């Protein structure tokens, strides 16, 4: 087995590629996703770019619809879904419970590593990631890039609100000192060496968009145009986007806690000023006039304390989750009949 993903004509052995696709309630889009992925892998195999042992690994993240049924059908009888049975491209694992996109993605990558694949490409099931970019990813990996990022060339398909908030998020993360690839979600190729390095990260608070760039290794990018979601609803509404941003911030930076300290110092300085102001008002007999400033001070300090407790609480909560040492996920079933692993 080779540690690199070779796709050039001179390569003696085509790489074993694993395409990892996290799925959560994707019954509407899965038939079309599997059709396009099947065509892509057929094309790559026909050109000798990948081994016949390559696979698409669907990770069912505790879906409540027919997602797992469709994944099993793709593995057991792809012809029933209008696909060619010549190459058994599809396999899957299923979580016992919904554990979130990042855990599903990590599980798929670790399964690819454990099963001995030479490289893995992760993408979402909604067909917004351009599948044709896989060809260029393989070529750049063959040229020496251990990690190849799929980067959006524009954000024209996003609303103005999403474009603005995304830009602010990337700017904030850069200011916090977090190394990230702008306009890159989780569409990337990782070679075996980077997968082995990723397996050493054991924290529960997963933020792969920050962890993968922190691995090091030689990287490259492939630009593509992100499409509209093919079918179904987005699995990242505003609430989840905010939660995801908090995960990223608290995973890689302690600056917010330092901000709390600075705000505390500023609040203390303001309180000294207010003491002087109150004494002056008392000596001059203008006690009533100080009522508004007193109320403002109380609300200001109270609000500052609550915000500070919230920020510190986020970090304490992360420490609590890490200290329990619980598994990130539990695999209840696999299409290949292998023993589940956590």
Report the C-alpha gap between 295 and 318 in whole angstroms.
35
Within 10 Å of residue 332's Cβ, how many Cβ atoms? 14
Q: Which two tokens stand for residue 34?
A: 């599997």
Report the C-alpha gap between 177 and 253 in whole angstroms.
7
> Hey, what CATH topology would domain 17-233+329-334 get?
Spore Coat Polysaccharide Biosynthesis Protein SpsA; Chain A (3.90.550)
Predicted pLDDT at 116? 92
Place of tokens 């990018």: 221
Whole-prediction pTM: 0.71
Q: Name the phi and psi angles at 337, rounded to 5.
A: 75, 15
Report the C-alpha gap between 172 and 176 in whole angstroms.
6
Helices then strands, each counted (H, E), the chain: 10, 8
Residues sharing a CB contact under 8 Å with residue 212, sequence separation 6 or more, in sequence order: 147, 188, 190, 194, 198
Report the C-alpha gap between 150 and 223 in whole angstroms.
6
Predicted pLDDT at 286? 62
Predicted pLDDT at 8? 44
Report the C-alpha gap between 121 and 144 in whole angstroms.
16
Torsion, CA 235, CA 241, CA 245, CA 248, rounded to 10: 0
pLDDT mean values, one per 10 residues, the chain (342 residues): 42 83 92 92 90 93 92 88 79 90 92 94 89 92 92 70 67 69 84 93 81 88 76 54 60 64 68 67 63 64 71 72 73 73 49
Predicted pLDDT at 186? 85
Predicted pLDDT at 59? 95
User: How do 219-224 and 188-191 pair as beta strands?
Assistant: unpaired
Say if CB 81 and CB 71 are below 8 A apart: no
Domain boundaries, the chain: 17-233+329-334, 255-324
């Amino acid at each position: 087995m080779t540690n690199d993903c070779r796709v050039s004509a001179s390569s003696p052995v085509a790489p074993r590629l694993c395409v990892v696709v996290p799925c959560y309630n994707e019954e509407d889009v899965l038939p079309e996703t599997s059709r396009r992925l099947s065509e892509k892998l057929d094309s790559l195999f026909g050109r000798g770019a990948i081994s016949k042992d390559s696979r698409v690994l669907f990770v069912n993240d505790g879906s409540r619809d027919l997602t797992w049924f469709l994944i099993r059908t793709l593995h057991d009888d792809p012809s029933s879904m209008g696909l060619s049975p010549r190459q058994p491209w599809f396999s899957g694992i299923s979580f016992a419970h919904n554990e979130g996109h990042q855990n599903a993605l990590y599980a798929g990558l670790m399964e690819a590593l454990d099963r001995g694949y030479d490289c893995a490409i992760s993408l979402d099931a909604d067909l917004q990631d351009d599948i044709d970019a896989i060809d260029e990813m393989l070529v750049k990996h063959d040229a020496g890039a251990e990690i190849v990022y799929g980067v959006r060339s524009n954000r024209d398909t996003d609303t103005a609100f999403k474009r603005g908030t995304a830009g602010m998020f990337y700017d904030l993360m850069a200011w916090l000192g977090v190394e990230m690839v702008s306009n890159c979600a989780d569409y990337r190729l990782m070679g075996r060496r980077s997968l082995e390095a990723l397996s050493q990260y054991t924290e529960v608070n997963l933020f792969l968009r920050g962890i993968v760039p922190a691995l090091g290794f030689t990287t490259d990018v492939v630009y593509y145009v992100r499409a509209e979601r093919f079918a179904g609803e987005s699995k990242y509404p505003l609430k989840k986007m905010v939660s995801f941003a908090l995960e990223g911030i608290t995973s890689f930076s302690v600056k917010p806690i330092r901000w709390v300290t600075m705000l505390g110092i500023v609040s203390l300085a303001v309180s000294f000023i207010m003491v002087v102001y109150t004494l002056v008002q008392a000596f001059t007999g203008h006690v009533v006039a100080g009522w508004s400033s007193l109320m403002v001070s109380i609300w200001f300090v109270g609000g500052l304390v609550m915000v500070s407790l919230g920020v510190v609480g986020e970090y304490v909560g992360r420490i609590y989750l890490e200290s329990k040492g619980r598994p990130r996920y539990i695999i209840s079933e696999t299409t290949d009949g292998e023993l589940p692993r956590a």
